[in-house]
């Protein structure tokens, strides 16, 4: 079925009473966009993604362009730019004021800079990134806007304003009463008073939810995506995707028409440039998340949220069973062949322990083992606001082990800016943002600026903590980027024996297989040394990456130091 036919089908599912005049006008506008094909449609399967805030990374797009060689040297092939669109910055840019403008400060421009000036700076950056083989995606919050967005400011003027219906209003705050409170401990209601009315929001009170029951909202957001696609952006991270459609009597998450909205966006993008990447930010159980991949007709990829905390749990338990169980068919369903999981250890948010996908037992265990300071607590025990190096108590062996898991297990890895050199929590930035936003949001601890002058001095000292972490992680990233089996292969977990013939429970061992390529990974999850038998004594094993690993001269025994690991190619 061609994209135009699909768009008409989805439109009728969403708005059976609306007629098709507005859709036909939109489809006619689409004809002005020349159709372009993506060079490699499934490039994201082999990518190493690097997530950053432009201003916190290096001031603005010019500063980011200056660091493209650094990123290329790390092995990065895709930049995920955390919110760059025009915003009052009360929620790190997820509160969008204008969908077709980048914040002028990120472009090194004045507030009154023209659209042409914006396009010149952002276009130049995209060109430089693409010349280095680095694709660029960015965040777009499609569930809500800032209360400073022109749509909302108009909506507030009167009940009959044409933009009033871009948002959800009620005098009865029991409406959508089954929708859970996402920001427990920060917000106390999903309704915010304004005059005699209340408006609905799932996140901060200054982020009113958009009303996708109004077809004009769907078309307006589609035009926003098309604008950036035409500018050369390679894809979008669709923020807060499960909450788009609301129905009374439901929890207002993962509703069928939410999926129809996503299919509409995908068909719009495919009509102009097939292969434009769409990434689902769906903080849900895998059985729900896979639905945002559809049958290859929704998002191209989604985060594997449950795997992240289970990697931390496995290290704390010194046992790989949490990872094995999470990646088993009982938890992680099959996905379409063209789809992909994205895996991560840390991103801009907290280490999430939402009971959507962790049990109360898991939540309690992980929180007790990793929330080393009370101020790291987020959402009353449902998360931990700390960078990876802090969670691992600045132990580069544990940091490297965690990266070994993320880089070699299922999916495409996401590196959070600064983790490659063990960036620490930034308490000064946290306090600064509380003053700016008026919200005590402990996630600001995991953000903060990079001091490049200080970092360059640190990296020159081989005994410096940051230099030691950087040496490990940068080498691992560059080794990983050349092995397709890590991004595309099947995963088979193996048991391995100690010299005494017992199963080594602290060893997480797996084989990644793609076509004729086989990669063996052995991770010692224990802080104690470990000796195990070679599981492939009859094969030649080529060393890809060892960390605190030795092999006997006869090749029959492997020795690991505390939290040591090895990546091997089975020949």
| Mean pLDDT to the nearest integer, 489-500 | 94
- pLDDT given for residue 521 in this prediction: 98
Domains of the chain: 43-145+214-306+335-349+405-480 (3.20.20.80), 489-570 (2.60.40.1180)
| Mean pLDDT to the nearest integer, 83-95 | 93
- Rounded Cα distance, 393 and 378, in Å: 18
- Rounded Cα distance, 240 and 221, in Å: 14
- Rounded Cα distance, 96 and 116, in Å: 20
pLDDT in tens, 35-75: 777 777 899 999 999 999 999 999 999 999 999 999 999 99
For the chain, what is the total number of helices (H) and then of strands (E)?
20, 22
- pLDDT given for residue 36 in this prediction: 75
Task: Single out the catalytic residue among 234, 281, 377, 426.
Answer: 281
- pLDDT given for residue 170 in this prediction: 98
- pLDDT given for residue 501 in this prediction: 85
306: closest CA among 267, 369, 358? 358
CA distances from 144 to 236, 306, 412 (A): 16, 25, 28
420 is catalytic: no
- Say if residue 380's pLDDT is above 90: no
Q: What is the mean pLDDT of the chain?
A: 95
CA distances from 434 to 43, 373, 508 (A): 39, 19, 41
pLDDT in tens, 147-191: 999 999 999 999 999 999 999 999 999 999 999 999 888 899 999
- Say if residue 437's pLDDT is above 90: no
Q: 113: pLDDT confidence band, cut at 50, 70 and 90?
A: very high
CB 344 within 8 A of CB 416: yes
Task: Single out the catalytic residue among 239, 350, 396, 420.
Answer: 239
pLDDT in tens, 6-44: 999 999 999 999 999 999 999 998 887 777 777 778 999
295 is catalytic: no
- pLDDT given for residue 499 in this prediction: 82
CB 492 within 8 A of CB 516: no
- Say if residue 356's pLDDT is above 80: no
Please provide the distance, in angstroms rounded to a whole number, between the alpha carbons at the two ends of the chain.
Answer: 44
CA distances from 333 to 56, 412, 472 (A): 37, 17, 33
Question: How would you class 119 by CB atoms within 10 Å of its CB: exposed for 0-12, middle for 13-18, buried for 19 or more?
Answer: middle
């Amino acid at each position: 079925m061609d994209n135009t036919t699909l768009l008409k089908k989805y439109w009728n599912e969403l708005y059976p009473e609306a007629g098709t005049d507005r859709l036909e006008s939109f489809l006619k506008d689409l004809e002005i966009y020349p159709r372009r094909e993506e060079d490699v449609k499934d490039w994201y399967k082999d990518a190493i993604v690097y997530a950053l805030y432009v201003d916190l990374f290096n001031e603005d797009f010019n500063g980011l362009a200056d660091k493209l060689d650094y990123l290329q040297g790390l092995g990065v092939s895709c930049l995920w730019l955390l919110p760059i669109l025009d915003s009052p910055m009360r929620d790190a840019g997820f509160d969008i004021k204008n969908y077709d403008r980048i914040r002028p400060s990120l472009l090194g421009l004045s507030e009154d800079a023209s659209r042409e000036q914006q396009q010149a700076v952002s276009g130049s950056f995209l060109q430089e990134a693409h010349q280095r083989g680095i694709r660029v995606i960015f965040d777009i919050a499609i569930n809500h806007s800032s209360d400073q967005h022109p749509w909302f400011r108009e909506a507030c003027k009167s009940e009959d304003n044409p933009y009033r219906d871009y948002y959800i209003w009620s005098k009865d705050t029991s409406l959508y009463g089954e929708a859970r409170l996402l920001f427990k401990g920060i917000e106390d209601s999903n309704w915010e008073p304004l005059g005699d009315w209340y408006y609905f929001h799932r996140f901060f009170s200054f982020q009113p939810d958009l009303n996708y029951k109004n077809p004009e909202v769907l078309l307006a957001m589609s035009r926003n995506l098309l604008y950036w696609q035409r500018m050369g952006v390679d894809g979008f991270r669709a923020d807060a995707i499960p909450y788009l459609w609301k129905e009374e009597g439901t929890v207002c998450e993962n509703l069928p028409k939410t999926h129809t909205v996503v299919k509409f966006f995908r068909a719009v993008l495919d009509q102009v440039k097939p292969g434009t990447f769409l990434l689902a930010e769906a903080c849900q159980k895998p059985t729900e998340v896979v639905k945002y991949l559809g049958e290859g007709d929704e998002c191209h990829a989604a985060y594997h949220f449950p795997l992240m905390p289970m990697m931390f749990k496995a290290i704390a338990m010194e046992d790989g069973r949490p990872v094995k169980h999470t990646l088993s068919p009982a938890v992680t369903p099959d996905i379409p062949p063209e789809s992909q999981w994205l895996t991560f250890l840390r991103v801009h948010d907290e280490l999430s322990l939402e009971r959507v996908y962790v049990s109360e037992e898991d939540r309690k265990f992980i929180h007790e083992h990793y929330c080393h300071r009370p101020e790291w607590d987020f959402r009353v025990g449902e998360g931990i606001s700390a960078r990876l190096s802090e969670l691992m108590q600045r132990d580069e062996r544990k940091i490297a082990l965690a990266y070994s898991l993320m880089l070699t297990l299922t999916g495409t890895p996401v590196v959070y800016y600064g983790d490659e050199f063990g960036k620490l929590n930034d308490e000064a930035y946290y306090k600064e943002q509380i003053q700016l936003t008026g919200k005590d949001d402990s996630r600001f601890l995991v953000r903060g600026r990079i001091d490049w002058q200080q970092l360059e001095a640190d990296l020159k000292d081989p005994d410096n903590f940051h230099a030691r972490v950087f040496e490990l992680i940068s080498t691992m990233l560059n080794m990983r980027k050349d092995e397709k089996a890590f991004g595309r292969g099947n995963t088979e977990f193996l048991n391995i024996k100690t010299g005494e013939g017992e199963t080594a429970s602290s060893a997480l061992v797996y084989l990644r297989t793609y076509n004729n390529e086989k990669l063996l990974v052995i991770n010692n999850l224990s802080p104690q040394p470990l000796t195990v038998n070679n599981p492939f004594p009859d094969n030649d094993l080529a060393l890809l990456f060892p960390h605190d690993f030795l092999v006997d001269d006869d090749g029959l025994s492997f020795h690991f130091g505390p939290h040591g690991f090895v990546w091997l190619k089975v020949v």
